[in-house]
Amino acid sequence: MNTVDISTLTIPELKGLQSDVAKLIEKRNTDAISNARAQIAEIAKNAGINLKDLVAKGDKGDVKKAPIKFRDPTDANNTWSGRGRLPNWALKMKEAGTLDSARV
């Protein structure tokens, strides 16, 4: 591999080089993706598999919503499963030390 001494380049030259490198990286990535897609299509064809069937999303089945564990006493429409970020109403109750009173 050839090495280039860039220590003597000016800032505009370095920025131009940086831009050229970024464009080349993007092109190589695009080419690699295209080649990979072509290889996958060829493998699927040789295996007698329709490419659309190969990449079809599977059935997730019945996805259940997490059960409600907390309900806002001031507005029954505000609920929280106890997972993820605390809603503002639950955060205020937690800071006040009263979150357990909202447990369902």
Q: What is the mean pLDDT of each run of 10 residues along the chain (104 residues)?
A: 88 96 97 96 92 77 87 94 94 94 92
**Residue 80: beta bridge partners?**
70
pLDDT at 3: 87
Q: CB neighbours of 83 closer than 8 A, spacing ≥ 6?
A: 66
Contact 9, 18 (CB under 8 A): no
pLDDT at 47: 93
Question: pTM, whole model, 2 decimals?
Answer: 0.48
pLDDT at 46: 94
Contact 88, 59 (CB under 8 A): no
